[in-house]
A and B are shown apart, each in its own frame.
Chain A
Amino acid sequence: MALLETHNLTKSFGGLVAVDDVNLEIEEGESISVIGPNGAGKSTLINLVTRMLDATEGDIEFDGDSILKHEPHEVVQKGVSRSFQTASIFPELTVEENAQIAALAAEHGSFRFNFLRHRNNYGEVDRLARRTLDAVGLLGQRDVTAEDLPYGDKRRLELGIALASEPSLLLMDEPTAGMSPEETADTVELIEEVKEQLDLTILLVEHDMEVVFNVSDRIVVLNRGAVIAEGPPEEVQGNPEVQEAYLGGMDA
Chain B
Amino acid sequence: MSLLAETVTVLLNGLQQGAIYVLVAIGLSIILGTLKFVNFAHGALYLIGTYAGLLITLKITPTGGKLADWGYTTLGLGWGFLPALLIVPILVFVVGLAMERFVARPFYDRPDTDQILLTFGLAIVVQEVFKILFGGQSYNFARPGWASGQVGLPIVGTFPEWRLYIIGITATVVVLVYGLIEYTDFGLVVRAGTRDAEMVELLGIKLSRPYLMVFGVGAALAGVAGVVGGPLYAVNPNIGTEVLVPSFLVVVIGGVGSISGAVLGGILIGETLAVMVAIAPQWSQVGIYVLAAIVLLARPQGLLGAEEVAP
Contact = CB atoms under 8 A, between A and B. Distances in A.
Interface of A: 52-53
Interface in B25-76: none
B214 to A, nearest CB: 24
B250 to A, nearest CB: 28
A29 to B, nearest CB: 33
Nearest to B309: A13
A53 B310 CA distance: 8
A14 to B, nearest CB: 10
A52 B310 CA distance: 8
Contacts of B310: 52-53
Interface of B: 310-311
Contacts of A53: 310
B58 to A, nearest CB: 53
A186 B311 CA distance: 34
Q: Interface majority SS on B: helix, strand, loop or mixed?
A: loop
B17 to A, nearest CB: 37
A193 B233 CA distance: 73
B311 to A, nearest CB: 8
A52 B311 CA distance: 8
Q: Interface majority SS on A: helix, strand, loop or mixed?
A: loop
A57 B311 CA distance: 20
Nearest to A72: B311
A56 B310 CA distance: 15
Nearest to A13: B309
Contacts of B311: 52
B3 to A, nearest CB: 48
3 contacts: A52-B310, A52-B311, A53-B310
B200 to A, nearest CB: 17
A53 B308 CA distance: 11
Contacts of A52: 310-311
B293 to A, nearest CB: 23
A48 to B, nearest CB: 13
A53 B311 CA distance: 9
Instruction: Give the 3 A-B CB pairs with smallest separation, nearest first.
Output: A52-B310, A53-B310, A52-B311
A178 B208 CA distance: 29
A128 B311 CA distance: 30
A41 to B, nearest CB: 16
A15 to B, nearest CB: 14
A188 to B, nearest CB: 30
A50 B47 CA distance: 48
Nearest to A47: B310
A150 B310 CA distance: 29
B227 to A, nearest CB: 41
B20 to A, nearest CB: 36
B310 to A, nearest CB: 8
Nearest to A53: B310
A53 B307 CA distance: 13
B31 to A, nearest CB: 25
B196 to A, nearest CB: 11
A208 to B, nearest CB: 23
B199 to A, nearest CB: 13
A53 to B, nearest CB: 8
A128 B180 CA distance: 58
B40 to A, nearest CB: 26
A147 to B, nearest CB: 15
A230 B2 CA distance: 77
A142 B310 CA distance: 33
Nearest to B311: A52
